[in-house]
Amino acid sequence: MNKILLLSDDSEMINIFKNYFINNSFFHFDIRNNVQNINLYDYQLIIIDYILKEIDSFELLNNLDKSIKKAVILPFYSMDLINIGGHLEINLLFIKPFSLKSLEEQLKIAFNYNMSFNEILDYQISILFKNIGLTNKYKGVKYLQEILFLIFNEKHNIDSKLYRILANRHNKKIDCIEKNIQYAINKSLNKMKYEDRLDTYGYVADYDNGNISNLDFINIIVDKIKYELNKKNWLSVLYCYLTMT
């Protein structure tokens, strides 16, 4: 069982953590509001609530030995805080409000708890899609998920032949598959602010028309997933906007 230290003085969050992980067979949480009389090296991971009354979170994180894995809970989405997290070499980053189920799954991935490649891939895809506003209510999202599994599991090239494979699988016309995917991508793109589009897609997207080609989009998503999968043991950032449960 992995021992995790949670540093927080948020009583509501502390109670939620305690109730959720009370009988967990994978992780034991030691929850405190300070670091007095404890040995930080006793823990495999330290999760720090960024806003603490008695502790300077930035100073603590900056002084922690690099051998100690660390995670931070942010009170809200902020690129400035995320950049600080990168500078401090944070291993995991959670943004309130988040789902403890998602946090637990992310910890299992980080600790390599017998998850198959397909389970990890499916989780990375779902988190990435959620972050950019792709929801399962669009048919094109399901097609995109299938395409990504084809690329990673069957080593297919990223080209228009992928549409033909899905068209044969679902007994649809090729242009129907392509249009459904484009519709889902455009819906996602139109929800995003200009700065978020630029951060996610660079200059590939046509910002005047709010469009990005299907294959350009798939290339970008594949690169992002490869980046996450190639990390050793620890995944760096989890943007998860789910209700706390």
Whether pLDDT at 172 is above 90: yes
pLDDT digits (tens, 9 = 90+) for 182-218: 999 988 887 777 666 666 666 555 545 557 889 989 9
Q: For residue 28, what are its two tokens?
A: 């034991």
Cβ atoms < 10 Å from Cβ of 227: 12
Task: Identify the pLDDT of residue 239.
Answer: 34
Poorest-pLDDT segment among 166-175, 197-206, 228-237: 228-237
222 and 126 assigned to the same domain: yes
Task: Identify the pLDDT of residue 53.
Answer: 79
In a domain, 80, yes or no: yes
72 and 159 assigned to the same domain: no
Distance, CA of 8 to CA of 165 (rounded, Å): 50
134 and 225 assigned to the same domain: yes
219 and 124 assigned to the same domain: yes
Distance, CA of 233 to CA of 152 (rounded, Å): 19
Residue of 227, 115, 16 lying closest to 6 (CA atoms): 16
132 and 223 assigned to the same domain: yes
Whether pLDDT at 133 is above 50: yes
Whether pLDDT at 143 is above 70: yes
123 and 67 assigned to the same domain: no
In a domain, 62, yes or no: yes
If one counts the domains in the chain, the total is 2
Task: Identify the pLDDT of residue 213.
Answer: 87
In a domain, 105, yes or no: no
88 and 171 assigned to the same domain: no
Q: Which of 21-25, 75-79, 107-111, 240-244 has the highest mean pLDDT?
A: 21-25
CATH number for the domain spanning 21: value is 3.40.50.2300
Question: 88: buried, middle or exposed (CB in 10 Å: 19+, 13-18, 0-12)?
Answer: middle
Helix or strand or coil: residue 213?
coil
The DSSP call for residue 54 is S
Question: Where in the sequence is the domain holding 85, given as residue range(s)?
Answer: 2-96
Whether pLDDT at 131 is above 80: no
Contact yes or no for 69/46 (Cβ under 8 A): yes
Whether pLDDT at 78 is above 70: no
Cβ atoms < 10 Å from Cβ of 205: 22
- Rounded to an integer, the average pLDDT of 46-74 is 80
Whether pLDDT at 62 is above 90: no
Task: Identify the pLDDT of residue 51.
Answer: 78
Whether pLDDT at 236 is above 60: no
122 and 91 assigned to the same domain: no
92 and 55 assigned to the same domain: yes
Helix or strand or coil: residue 4?
strand
In a domain, 203, yes or no: yes
In a domain, 234, yes or no: no
126 and 222 assigned to the same domain: yes
CATH number for the domain spanning 204: value is 1.10.10.10
In a domain, 162, yes or no: yes
Contact yes or no for 164/150 (Cβ under 8 A): no
89 and 165 assigned to the same domain: no
In a domain, 211, yes or no: yes
Whether pLDDT at 166 is above 90: yes
83 and 152 assigned to the same domain: no
Cβ atoms < 10 Å from Cβ of 7: 22
Task: Identify the pLDDT of residue 243.
Answer: 26
In a domain, 106, yes or no: no
**With bands split at pLDDT 50, 70 and 90, how would you rate the model's confidence at 87?**
low
